[in-house]
Structure 1
């Protein structure tokens, strides 16, 4: 079981080296093909303009987007050409308006086993970075591996933390992450403050652990109390305590609107990620 078709997307030079290196390492380890997409994004949203001025604004914005696409393409090529000669990859450059970005990314993510992206939040990141991540997850229906600036320690992480809350999203993430889980030495299923009523009240995480073990995954369950204000804080502390090399979790358990306004575990983890985060919805 392995990923055979990988995709990475860059709309700037920020975060390209660490993301490309991680994507290339995974492609080499799993004998996969890596597709790279360089995006130039026209961020102008012209509501109205005086006669004769609109075309000038649009043309200038598209010229700027083309320059950004060429810069991102150059960064991708530089990073990919620095990898092992046996790496199979292709690079494509596209210019799009912000409103059409979702369709462009989703059209390629749908035919990829895994999308590898840099952190969508933080210094140097913009609204288009968040849009790319969400396009791959939701419209693209692809799992996403988010790589922090520090990069990925290994293409086959040996210690993985899997966040479990009995949700559909968490189960989808566990299934989509199976190629990584089967290669790990230890997969710790972490359940934070499980409900006292429900199907798993007597054995939180037990059925998931059974499923994974039957697939050959070396899994165990850890039930933790919510001793910090946010679930994401507890997960982050556990990742550090066990020196995990990857976190697997379901993306956006609440409505996306509520997540955008109030945050949520997904957003908090992405804002302060120290290790690669595997997301699926």
Structure 2
């Protein structure tokens, strides 16, 4: 198993170079084909305008989105033409509410989607639905590239967040090419349950599974000494000098994550190294 077909979505001129740096590095590392979708996004909510203005406003916002799409496409082609990888670029315009259809259709036929960090200062409203569309509708693992993080297509040290959930197991299976190639994989278990079949050996079955795939894994059992699970994970990322985090995405509903927060959302907001997620 490897990643032969990569996919990325670009919708912000300011994030083109940053996102493509990670995507190109991955394409080079896996000798993969990279598909790039350059989207101009109409972020207006036309239903809020009075009836006579809707057509005029819609025309203006679509025209602006078309200009953004062309600008992003031009920058992407310039960046890719100087590489030796196999690539293809497609461009288009979408309304914010219709982003999922455009992204998920292409993500389904990819092995890995590489995207910019969806949260943070200066991040557009479209980045969150793009990420969720790839994960939920596209059913494809996603590699999130935080601002300022160096590309790590072949990470040496990986932190694998483990809570015995189906999401965490799905992320583990999807990340096996990366895990096998890593020098060390730390399976991090935070406050393991005191009752249940695995209470005496937290992470033991996963460690056995990984060992059979040639993964050099060790179990780190940590206490939740900080308010959030993501805080504990991020502190351990720094302690072990990890190059990447592998974790399941959205153990709770997306609505609950958005309103009350959760490990996925906080991790994506605060991460300083690439985060590999699957659902």
Classify the TM-score, shorter chain: over 0.9
**Alpha-carbon shift at residue 75 of structure 1 (Å):** 2.4
- Which residue does the alignment assign to 1:257? 255
**Alpha-carbon shift at residue 49 of structure 1 (Å):** 4.9
Matched, 1:82 2:78: no
Cα separation, partners in 2 of 1:48 and 1:267, compared to 1, 3 Å: closer
SS at match of 1:227: coil
**Alpha-carbon shift at residue 70 of structure 1 (Å):** 1.2
Q: How does 1:182-193 map to 2 (within 5 A)?
A: 182-193=180-191
**Alpha-carbon shift at residue 52 of structure 1 (Å):** 4.2
In 1: Cα distance, 2:150 partner to 2:269 partner: 17
In 1: Cα distance, 2:260 partner to 2:53 partner: 39
- Which residue does the alignment assign to 2:28? 28
Q: Does the 8 Å CA contact 2:149/2:272 hold for their aligned counterparts? A: no
- Which residue does the alignment assign to 1:118? 116
SS at match of 1:14: helix
SS at match of 1:15: helix
SS at match of 1:47: helix
Aligned length: 279
In 1: Cα distance, 2:252 partner to 2:107 partner: 23
- Residue segments in structure 2 that go unaligned for 5+ positions in a row: none
Matched, 1:224 2:222: yes
**Alpha-carbon shift at residue 261 of structure 1 (Å):** 0.2
- Which residue does the alignment assign to 2:41? 41
Q: Does the 8 Å CA contact 1:35/1:90 hold for their aligned counterparts? A: yes
SS at match of 2:13: coil
In 2: Cα distance, 1:156 partner to 1:20 partner: 16
SS at match of 1:210: helix
In 1: Cα distance, 2:49 partner to 2:38 partner: 30
In 2: Cα distance, 1:213 partner to 1:50 partner: 63
Instruction: Give the TM-score normalised by the residue count of structure 2.
Output: 0.97
Q: Which runs of 4+ in 1 moved over 6 A?
A: none
**Alpha-carbon shift at residue 194 of structure 1 (Å):** 0.8
1:145-204 alpha-carbon deviations (Å, 9 max, x no partner): 001122334320010000000001000000000111111000110001111112311111
- Residue segments in structure 1 that go unaligned for 5+ positions in a row: none
Instruction: Give the TM-score normalised by the residue count of structure 1.
Output: 0.96
In 2: Cα distance, 1:227 partner to 1:50 partner: 53
Q: Does the 8 Å CA contact 1:38/1:72 hold for their aligned counterparts? A: yes
SS at match of 2:47: coil
Q: CA RMSD in A?
A: 1.2
In 1: Cα distance, 2:49 partner to 2:249 partner: 39
